[in-house]
Structure 1
Amino acid sequence: MAFDRYVCICNPLRYNIIMSLSMVARLISASWLLSMILYGIHVMLTSRLPLCDSVILQVYCDNWSVVRLSCIDNAVNIIYGSSLAVVYLFFLLFLILYSYISILRVCYNASSEVISKALHTCMPQFITTIIIVIEARLEFFINLLTSTNLPYGVKMFMSIQPLVTPPLMNPLLYGLKMTEIRLRIFQLLHLKKI
């Protein structure tokens, strides 16, 4: 999405040429292939571990929860998983920030209306990205803490956040951009006050 916004704002006349169907297919394929390779290695490293316990400390089963159940040294999994999470998050965040800085540079000399439109276009994705990064960091810190460091209810609440917050926030962020939806929500809130 950041690349799409970048091309749309920085190269508007060449948008249809750059963002052709084949380019979109290549971008989607590259993101799927990279994720499948990196996380496939992660799952293969985990599948070699013998398990000594069967109690998962979260609401759902993730790779780190299974690694924790191992009774042998799992330093390779910890190092690979931590580096994968850090590199993946920071690499994606860097690409998004780079595209937005480029967009702001292009809009710098433009009118305030152009800047407003660019911010209106980019802000929902930027906020969504920030939410996902915060949720991923929370997940990372939850996995670092043992079950004795946090009360069970707090741990369960924190473990559900990555599953609940983005799906709840996305319709609000992208829906409030639409004038009709925004006006209807304000009308509903105003009627309830009366």
Structure 2
Amino acid sequence: MRAFLRFKNSLSLAFVAFFATTSLVSSEIADFTAFDVNLTLALLRKDQKIEVVVRDQVTDGCWTKSNAAKTAVEKNLIIAGYENIVPADDNAFFTIEVSALGYDTGGNNCAVYVSLRAISGEADRYYMNDHEVMAINLREQFSSSTLLTGPKSDMTSRINDTLYEKSDELIVAINAARNSLRKKISDTTISEQKKNGLLSAFSLD
């Protein structure tokens, strides 16, 4: 937890240091955005601890292999370079939640709502009776969902394939955020030294 807080604070301080004299830092820096870019995604480290959790709320045999979806999503993350997959009790502070909610609608057909969310735990400071209080709040960084309907016979494979595709969407969103941040830093009017320093500091060069 302390390492996570140090990392987040160092990011905020670096942005303030580089852009304090400009209007480029978003007023929402406390929410971890700048340049209208989600910094949590843009600066997600390859060694970041990530947990993948399954929320199975499907009944009537419409999803019989939920663990296969978890394995597929974890494999996709590893292929993308995010290899530090950890158990749910390891204080990852970055969770990918794969979930499905559905049931048999009759005639051996199913309706299942499928979603994948990325959720981060971020530290916020509050002041209470002149005392600073630190709290970890959960924030949704990415979400994609869809409704599947059709025969029960192939619903499990359709759910798992859909969740795998949504993990692709997440990986693309992370890369898009990184590319957007890199471009916006490069396009600023600050000195080349500051640009290069910031790009290097956050491995965007």
Q: TM-score range by the shorter chain?
A: under 0.3
TM-score normalized with structure 1 length: 0.28
Which of these two proteins has the greater Rg computed from alpha carbons? Answer: 1
When the two structures are superposed, what TM-score results if normalisation uses the length of structure 2?
A: 0.27
Larger strand percent: 2
